[in-house]
């Protein structure tokens, strides 16, 4: 199996940390890394390989540790994909639109052409068009599912078709997968070596403040991520807190409540005068077309509620994106919306 890495990647020797060079033994005096010797809980460098954390994630996700990359949010993995696979000014990537803004930002920062393909009117995936805009220089195909901001997940058969027929790396961003009934692509990693699946602890897992994103990939690809990342890309408190919280956060309960509240909003919003359309959602937010997005956005802000105004985005005209909150927060949102026309 060959991967479309940039040519110089193979020649890079990664930074060797003090703890990489140390090969075991019963050490109690650490004078190898120029750290402070005074124990305040964070005076030592964190594990650059995040071994303990990856063990826990491996158990949780049913994916071998050598297929896991962890980084400073999904955003780090997104940037590393460009740096691994795309020659600036030469290669291109394809993404759906509307979708997550970071693909475009990372493309621009890395000086890589982004070819956007509009989703269909009903936000379904234009599989043939996506494949048709790819050429010999297309290294990455970005599909966010469930998609932000359209909120729908795409059928697995569409994603599998892209995995089969696209010659570069298919990146499926599953940030919202915990809220969807349509399943994950993780089970297909074995069948498709050029598949990368992104997940995050920022949404359903309630740890946006800790910054932990995951990429699941072929072991050769995750080794390449590890080779070019910052050595200490996930700090020690984050590694420890994530390990602790993965076994203690009531995530299943929270996800169940968010889905019940999403259903309640889906039922109640269409009866409100200023609401024109509520798109079906597989995520923890709703894309809602309203009578006057800017005016309603301002009115909500004046009432102390902030939502995301997506009305200027092609394909989302007149739409606000509403994150599902607690029952009390959602009630406040509905109460304020009912006063608007
Ligand atoms: C929120 C979100 C993420 C998460 O990014 P982090 O850097 O992990 O917080 C990733 N992808 C999409 C599509 C998102 O909406």
Listed residue (157, 147, 174) closest to 74, CA to CA = 174
Residues 6+ apart with CB under 8 A from 92: 86, 112, 113, 114, 115, 135, 137, 138, 139
pLDDT category at 15 given cuts 50, 70, 90 is confident
pLDDT at residue 229 is higher than 90:
yes
Residues 6+ apart with CB under 8 A from 300: 306, 307, 333, 336, 337
Contact 178, 222 (CB under 8 A): no
Q: Name residues contacting ligand 1 (CB within 6 A).
A: 73-75, 100, 144, 148, 173, 175, 200, 202-203, 208, 213
Compute the average pLDDT of residues 234-263.
97
Q: Encode burial over 313-324: b for 16+ CB neighbours within 10 A, e otherwise.
A: bebbebbbbbbb
In the reported structure, the alpha carbon of residue 84 is separated from the centroid of ligand 1 by a whole-number distance in angstroms of: 20
Name beta bridge partners: 286.
322
Residues 6+ apart with CB under 8 A from 109: 79, 82
Mutate to test the pocket of ligand 1, among 173, 175, 180 (most ligand atoms within 8 A of CB): 175
pLDDT at 60: 96
Strand 169-173 relative to strand 138-144, pairing: parallel
In the reported structure, the alpha carbon of residue 37 is separated from the centroid of ligand 1 by a whole-number distance in angstroms of: 37
The Cα 294–Cα 320 span in angstroms is 9
Listed residue (197, 173, 180) closest to 281, CA to CA = 180
In the reported structure, the alpha carbon of residue 24 is separated from the centroid of ligand 1 by a whole-number distance in angstroms of: 37
Compute the average pLDDT of residues 45-62.
97
Average pLDDT over the chain, rounded to whole?
97
pLDDT per residue as tens digits for the range 148-195? 999 999 999 999 999 999 999 999 999 999 999 999 999 999 999 999
Provide DSSP, 276-307.
EEE---SSSEEEEEES-HHHHHHHHHHTT---
Domains along the chain?
9-246 (3.40.640.10), 251-339 (3.90.1150.10)
pLDDT category at 13 given cuts 50, 70, 90 is confident
Ligand 1 atom closest to 99 (CA): 13
SS3 55: helix
Q: Residue of the nearest CA to atom 4 in ligand 1?
A: 74
pLDDT at 89: 98
| pTM for the structure as a whole | 0.97
pLDDT at residue 23 is higher than 80:
no
């Amino acid at each position: 199996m060959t991967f479309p890495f940039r040519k110089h990647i193979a020649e890079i020797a990664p930074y060797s940390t003090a703890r990489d060079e140390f090969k075991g033994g019963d050490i109690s005096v650490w004078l190898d890394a120029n750290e402070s010797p005074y124990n305040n809980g964070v005076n030592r460098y964190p594990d650059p390989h995040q071994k303990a954390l990856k063990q826990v994630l491996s158990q949780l996700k049913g994916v071998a540790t050598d297929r896991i990359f962890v980084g400073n949010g999904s955003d780090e993995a997104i940037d590393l994909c460009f740096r691994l696979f795309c020659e600036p000014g030469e290669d291109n990537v394809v993404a759906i639109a509307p979708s997550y803004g970071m693909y475009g930002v990372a493309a621009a920062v890395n000086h890589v052409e982004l070819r956007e393909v509009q989703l269909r009117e009903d936000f379904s995936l234009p599989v043939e068009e996506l494949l048709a805009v790819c050429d010999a220089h297309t290294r990455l195909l970005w599909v966010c599912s469930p998609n932000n901001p359209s909120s729908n997940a795409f059928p697995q058969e569409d994603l599998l078709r892209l995995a089969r027929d696209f010659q570069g790396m298919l990146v499926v961003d599953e940030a919202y997968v915990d809220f969807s009934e349509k399943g994950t692509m993780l089970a297909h990693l074995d069948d498709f070596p050029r598949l990368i699946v992104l997940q995050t602890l920022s949404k359903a897992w309630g740890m946006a403040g800790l910054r932990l994103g995951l990429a699941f990939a072929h072991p050769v690809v995750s080794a390449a991520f590890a080779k070019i990342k910052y050595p200490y890309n996930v700090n020690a408190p984050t590694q420890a807190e994530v390990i602790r919280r993965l076994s203690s956060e009531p995530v299943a309960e929270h996800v169940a409540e968010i889905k019940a509240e999403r259903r309640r909003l889906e039922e109640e919003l269409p009866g409100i005068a200023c609401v024109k359309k509520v798109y079906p959602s597989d995520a923890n937010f709703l894309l809602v077309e309203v009578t006057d997005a800017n005016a309603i956005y301002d009115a909500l802000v004046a009432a102390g509620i902030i939502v995301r105004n997506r009305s200027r985005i092609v394909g989302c005209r007149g739409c606000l994106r509403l994150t599902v909150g607690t029952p009390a927060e959602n009630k406040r949102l509905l109460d304020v919306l009912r006063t608007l026309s």
